Chains A and B, each alone.
Chain A
Amino acid sequence: MHRFVAGALAISWMAASTARSDDLVLSEAEVTAQRERLARLGFALMLERQKRLARVGSEIRLHAAALCDGKQSPVTGIVAATSAELPEAYRETAYRDHAVADLVKVLWILPDYPAAEAGLRSGDTILAIDGRETHAAADLDQRDPTDSKTFTVLKVERAGEIFDLRFESRNGCFRPAVLTLLDDVDAHTEGTRMLVYSGLLRFAESDDELAIVLAHELAHELLGQEWSAETAESEADHLGLYLVARAGYDVTLAPDLARRLGAEFPLALEQRAGHPHPFSAARSVALTATLREIEEKRERGEPLEPRTR
């Protein structure tokens, strides 16, 4: 039954010597059609996740800006890409359906953000920001934090016309989070840039949950800590929850999210031998206190200022 018929039913993309008489015959055309269909679906999902990350990440960064002197970068609310920044699988569909090529192509802009209000549109090509040429979407986040200009100028190309768009600058903490297309439930920071994995976006079901995760990570970066120390965790708990609350997301979902994460990854919680046990009465008390503190400040209409060291 497992007779080898070299070449007879071989399909162009497979090694002829491994073909079997009972193998399905697939034409190159139908495989190509599936590749294009899946790439379109995959690109659409990636874009949805980038939009979500931009929406939640921008709000967290903006509302944390006051706590983040000297570590700020622009919050543009622009989701853009160049071909080189995409996985190979999506380049063709990105080019065909969205004209993404070598230059920075705008894919989406957060509504109500100054760039959108100034008239920037999906499909526009950004050639320069504040006089500097842009070669990658990441170039939009680069700015000298001491730059005191209060507006941003984009050099934009639309339908063959080149013009400047000017809008109010906003600054936020660190640089925008970047979507990493791997299915781990994970996020980490490289330099001042947070990498958020697809798997985490899938796990954090609501924007509130995503905000809790992003804020916790940002808090660690703000405090300049290694995450393993117990005092560092308490401080990051405290600051992170404040960042969530300041951005208007629901802090009360944190316990349930944590319960789900903890149940999924028992090994991750325990594998840091020699470090303080992640659970402690002190931290439990501190965290509960932070949730209560935030609630009380809201009731009294006080500003949501975390305690500083």
Chain B
Amino acid sequence: MRSRVAITLAASLLVSSAGCSTQATLAPDRDHPVRAPDEAFAEASVRLYVQRQARLLAVSYAIRTAGAAVCGDAVGPILGIAVWRSNPLFGRAFFEALERGYGISAGSLAVVAVQPGSPADRAGIRVGDQILAVGGGAVHSDVDLFDRAAAFEAGAIPMALLHDGREIHASVDPLPACRPEAFIEIGDLMLTDRARGDHFYVTSGFIRFAKTDDELALVVAHELAHRISGTQVVPGPQVEVRADRLGLYLAARAGYDISDAPAFWDRVAVEQPWSLSDDVEHYGWSRVPAHGYMPSRAAAIRKVVAEIQHKIEHGEPLLPGNS
């Protein structure tokens, strides 16, 4: 028998918590006694999701805009929004709570977070707005949306949105930034490298693991560096080391404190024994990358952090590469 304790426990015990706190409203409503605990759970879940979207957006926005000068060819206009990404596995209760709380329907391409001061914010785009068209063409998915925006080269980007039920038009000023967009993938594994084309994902589990924004910046910058370097490379320790080097520069350029990077990646390494040595025998499952890159990364991270700190102390520009 296989039972998933996390799932059943949450399902079984949440009702009591919500039941306790909402007993007064629950008791008289004999026709819908189940709704309140259900809704309370879903609302908490939506709140956490939206908070994490906003947090990932803030960190990735800072890194991508500050990194434009070191992103080579991978530069394009940034919008400064995160969009709702429908996934049937969220479930009905989640969708309903999203609609109640943010006016976002599950099937729509809607804004769940706007970075303050970003081009989208200055163009008047708000949470809950539904995106219809970007750069003159209709958009059908989040990837589609960001690809169209990034490819737009003729000045301000025209966008059509549904705002409070009526269509509005916005003109988003182009601000150059590193192009790859960051998305959240719901999942508890500390894997990030689920890249699709130009974009990358960070799992909700990794966002939870990164306790501070300085830590989250290390994860985002490392993955961004991978996307900038391109995917047409043979995996290996040197590929990881390159992403660490560029990633640390990206995080530092955005003003994040990288001094705890060695300790943070140590924390990651000890959660993943397969990152220390090739161990197909023990972890030979398809979902676990059985590769031992972390020792090389740990050595490199220490060197690069020292290199960057030296440059900061001496007022030198934070540019990676031979120096």
Task: Specify whether A and B are partners.
Answer: yes
A111 sits at the interface (CB 8 A): no
* Nearest A residue to B304, CB-CB: A24
Docked Cα-Cα span, A294 to B254, in Å, equals 54
Contact at B4–A279, with CB atoms within 8 Å?
no
Q: How large is the interface on A (under 10, 10 to 19, 20 to 34, 35 or more residues)?
A: 35 or more
Contact at A183–B188, with CB atoms within 8 Å?
yes
Contact at B1–A26, with CB atoms within 8 Å?
no
Determine how close the nearest CB of chain B comes to the CB of A189; give it in whole angstroms: 6
- What are the interface flags for A278-305 relative to B under an 8 Å C-beta threshold, 1 for contact and 0 otherwise? 1111011101100100000000000000
B120 sits at the interface (CB 8 A): no
Chain B residues with CB under 8 A of A183: 188-190, 205, 271-272
Chain B residues with CB under 8 A of A264: 45, 48, 188, 204, 208
Chain B residues with CB under 8 A of A189: 1-3
B295 sits at the interface (CB 8 A): yes
Contact at A87–B6, with CB atoms within 8 Å?
no
* Residues 64 to 107 of chain B near chain A (Cβ within 8 Å): 87, 89-94
Known: A42-B269, A200-B6, A259-B44. A26 touches B13 (CB 8 A): no
Chain B residues with CB under 8 A of A258: 9-10, 12-14, 16-17
Select one of B48, B189, B269, B270 contacting A263, CB under 8 A.
Answer: B48
Select one of B37, B299, B321 contacting A26, CB under 8 A.
Answer: B299
Interface of B, helix, strand, loop or mixed by DSSP: helix
Chain B residues with CB under 8 A of A18: 233-234, 236, 238-239
B218 sits at the interface (CB 8 A): no
Select one of B15, B49, B298 contacting A38, CB under 8 A.
Answer: B298
Chain A residues with CB under 8 A of B89: 267, 270-271
Contact at A283–B15, with CB atoms within 8 Å?
yes
Contact at B15–A284, with CB atoms within 8 Å?
yes
Determine how close the nearest CB of chain A comes to the CB of B234; give it in whole angstroms: 6
Contact at A262–B11, with CB atoms within 8 Å?
yes
- What are the interface flags for B14-47 relative to A under an 8 Å C-beta threshold, 1 for contact and 0 otherwise? 1111111000000000000110011001101101
Chain A residues with CB under 8 A of B12: 216, 233-234, 236-237, 258, 278, 283, 287
Select one of B8, B92, B269 contacting A220, CB under 8 A.
Answer: B8
Contact at A87–B283, with CB atoms within 8 Å?
yes
Determine how close the nearest CB of chain A comes to the CB of B72; give it in whole angstroms: 9
- What are the interface flags for B249-291 relative to A under an 8 Å C-beta threshold, 1 for contact and 0 otherwise? 0000000000000000010011111101111011100001000
Select one of A185, A268, A277, A291 contacting B205, CB under 8 A.
Answer: A185
Chain A residues with CB under 8 A of B226: none
Select one of B34, B190, B245, B274 contacting A87, CB under 8 A.
Answer: B274
Determine how close the nearest CB of chain B comes to the CB of A136; give it in whole angstroms: 15
Chain A residues with CB under 8 A of B4: 186-188, 227, 268
Known: A200-B6, A267-B186. A26 touches B241 (CB 8 A): yes
Chain B residues with CB under 8 A of A31: 295-296, 299
- Our count of residue pairs bridging A and B at CB distance below 8 angstroms stands at 267
Contact at A216–B277, with CB atoms within 8 Å?
no
Known: A18-B238, A264-B204. A188 touches B298 (CB 8 A): no
Contact at A284–B8, with CB atoms within 8 Å?
no
Docked Cα-Cα span, A136 to B235, in Å, equals 36
A181 sits at the interface (CB 8 A): yes
Select one of A21, A216, A278, A287 contacting B16, CB under 8 A.
Answer: A287
Chain B residues with CB under 8 A of A15: 234, 236
Select one of A39, A213, A270 contacting B91, CB under 8 A.
Answer: A270
* Residues 289 to 323 of chain B near chain A (Cβ within 8 Å): 292, 294-296, 298-300, 303-304, 320-322
Contact at A237–B13, with CB atoms within 8 Å?
yes
Contact at A89–B238, with CB atoms within 8 Å?
no
Chain B residues with CB under 8 A of A21: 322
Closest 10 interchain pairs by CB?
Answer: A270-B91, A255-B17, A258-B13, A278-B11, A267-B89, A261-B10, A35-B295, A281-B33, A89-B276, A284-B15
20 additional contacts, CB 8 Å, given A22-B320, A90-B273? A14-B238, A19-B238, A24-B304, A34-B296, A34-B299, A89-B274, A216-B9, A254-B13, A258-B9, A258-B17, A259-B14, A262-B14, A263-B47, A267-B186, A268-B7, A270-B93, A270-B94, A277-B34, A281-B33, A288-B19
Mark A residues whose CB is within 8 Å of B: 1, 11, 13-15, 18-24, 26, 30-35, 37-39, 41-42, 45-46, 87-90, 181-190, 198-200, 202-203, 212-213, 216-217, 220-221, 224-227, 233-234, 236-237, 254-259, 261-271, 277-281, 283-285, 287-288, 291
